[in-house]
Structure 1
Amino acid sequence: MNLLKEMTAAGPGCAIANGLLNCFETTKVKLQLHNPSSPVYTVPTTRGVMTQIAQEEGIVRGLLTPGLSASLTRSVLYGAYRVGLYSSVRSALSGLNGDDDDNIGTDSTNITFTTRLLSGMITGGIGSLLSCPLDVVRTRMQADSGLIHKNIYTTGLRKGQAVRYTGMMSAFYTILKEEGLQRGLYRGSSVTVARASVLNGAQLATYDTMKQYLGWEEGPILHSFCALLSGIVAQTVIMPMDTVKSQMMLGHSWKDVYHCIIQRRNGALLYLYRGWIPASCGQSLIMVLQMPMIEEFRRLLVVEAI
């Protein structure tokens, strides 16, 4: 019953946070896929892209709603697994590793960082594997977004091209029909799952460890501060994988991060960290909104804090 409560508390919290900050995810994808040889955005920076999109398409249509239906659906499923299962997996692994798990929860001071990291990686990997098709659909919808006239995009990365998807279900059906399950809805799944494992491990291990290190009273201030730090740390760690993941989901030829570095020996680092500012802002703000809400839902459901 506790496990069900933990998953129930995590899903809605993740969905609300991701939905409110969808503009950063949209901007990140646009920046990652922007082609300098045929530029769409006059100033290819976070501020420049967001400003141009807002001017051309409007704030709501251009920044807040692209891929939102897929993002919310994914967040509920992914969040329930990646955050909801974390405490239980941490408890199980702490016993296997010989850590002191007599007081699992906020007083579990003897649980090692490695155990926390591994716990987050396991739950993140499971959640990502199950929600990968939704991630592909969300990325495609955000990349394709723009104003449409007579079924042709007049703005955005696909300016001058025909509309491919009319909504989330249309994207699912079209991708499955034209590209199949493995090459379509699970395109780039190896990078996606690896990214999610590392991201979730870094996020939750940093968040959990900082809570223990600071020793402050449980509450919104502690949760928000630790969440902010965990978001910055996690996004910095996984940014290269994030960039490659977006490229692979759009059908780019990169096989993995290593392949990208080999192909772009001189500019690989800058290329892999394109979109870091909006990604870090989005990740940090998502965590700051997400974790206090999840902790509050856990409190209301009479479940110990993470």
Structure 2
Amino acid sequence: MGDKKPDRKPIPGWLNFVFGGMSGMMGICVVQPADLVKTRMQLMGPKGDKSVMTTVSGILKNEGVSGFYKGLSAALFRQATYTTARLGIFNSINDYYTSSHGAPSFPMKLVIGMVAGGLAAFVGNPAEVALIRMTADGRLPPDQRRNYKNVFNALSRIISEEGAATLFRGASATATRAMVVNGAQLGSYSQAREQLLPVLGQGIVLHFIASLISGLTTALASLPVDIVKTRVQNSAKGVNQFQVLGSIIKEEGVLTLWRGFIPTYAKMGPLTVLMFIFLEQWNALYYRLTE
């Protein structure tokens, strides 16, 4: 992944992690409102109003414009941990495989993406728990809100009030989602980029279209595991992902697994576009400065 000529040396492994994290953090600043709306919709029970506009208007009415950015510190911390790890691991494994065996096939790209996502999920799970708690807080009655001040306040209070193990609540669900997301997102982006390169040539247009394809693929594939993960991590008591999945299908219907598709793609599409464009530019800058 990235603007690499066949005779170029791979970008140093540690820089893969730095560039990945910086790209994710830059992108999340733009799409945080869509992620918050998606989370609120996923936490609605069978009697909740499922429309995007009702959710958006409710946030505006009760919390103001700033309500859309609740949990931004946790979102940034998540990108600094989870996205740094997943993109860094993916690019490092991809570079190693390419240098040893040649360009990976599409199935191999999916496998590399899933491995990267699964490993990164455990690194980012504490930030994930804090993010879900903070973005969900505004939907609760005032006397039930946790009112975390920022991600570090959230993490310290979770540890002191509920125990450190709570930071890894839903880790298996997070890992499942991460493997699906990364296999779909990183694998489909890399494949789309490879297929479109002869037609579009190198540049922003190539990165943009490949990212749109990747974002749509990822949103469709990841929503069912995402809604299960969200509910597990927001639960007051520990429940496993299979209990939550069965309950959703039984009580709310199978289509509920794709609730929040519009805000999910409103987040996933632009985030994928921005993240990969930023990543490609960081990679290109590295080669301009070192060649």
- TM-score scaled by length of structure 1: 0.83
- Name the CA distance, whole Å, in 1 between partners of 2:242 and 2:97: 30
CA contact (8 A) 1:27 1:49 kept: yes
1:239 to 215, 218, 223: 223
Amino acid aligned to 1:57: E
Match of 2:209 in 1: 225
**Aligned 1:162-201 pairs, distance under 5 A:** 162-164=144-146, 165-182=148-165, 184-201=166-183
- Name the CA distance, whole Å, in 1 between partners of 2:191 and 2:243: 30
CA contact (8 A) 1:90 1:119 kept: yes
2:240 is paired with a residue of what secondary structure? coil
Is 1:80 the counterpart of 2:95 in the alignment?
no
Match of 1:153 in 2: none
CA contact (8 A) 2:28 2:76 kept: yes
Deviation at 1:44, TM superposition (A): 2.9
**Aligned 1:1-306 pairs, distance under 5 A:** 2-37=12-47, 39=48, 43-59=49-65, 61-63=66-68, 65-93=69-97, 99=101, 101=102, 108=103, 111-145=104-138, 157-164=139-146, 165-182=148-165, 184-215=166-197, 216-251=200-235, 254-257=239-242, 260-261=245-246, 264-265=249-250, 267-302=252-287
5+ long unaligned stretches in structure 2: 1-10
Q: How many residues align?
A: 274
Q: Aligned residues: percent identity? A: 27
Deviates more, 1:158-167 or 1:80-89: 158-167
Give the helix-richer structure, 1 or 2.
2
The one-character-per-residue Cα deviations of 1:80-137 (angstroms, maximum 9, x if unpaired) are: 22112322212434577xx4x1xxxxxx4xx211110111111112222111100100
Deviation at 1:247, TM superposition (A): 0.5
1:123 is paired with a residue of what secondary structure? helix
Task: Go from structure 1 to structure 2 and tell me whether the alpha carbon gap of 1:229 and 1:174 turns closer, same or farther (over 3 Å shift).
Answer: same
Deviation at 1:239, TM superposition (A): 0.9
CA contact (8 A) 2:50 2:259 kept: no
Task: Go from structure 1 to structure 2 and tell me whether the alpha carbon gap of 1:204 and 1:192 turns closer, same or farther (over 3 Å shift).
Answer: same
- Name the CA distance, whole Å, in 2 between partners of 1:263 and 1:192: 17
CA contact (8 A) 2:118 2:178 kept: yes
CA contact (8 A) 1:5 1:301 kept: no
- Name the CA distance, whole Å, in 2 between partners of 1:266 and 1:250: 18
- Name the CA distance, whole Å, in 1 between partners of 2:238 and 2:56: 27
- Name the CA distance, whole Å, in 2 between partners of 1:25 and 1:257: 24
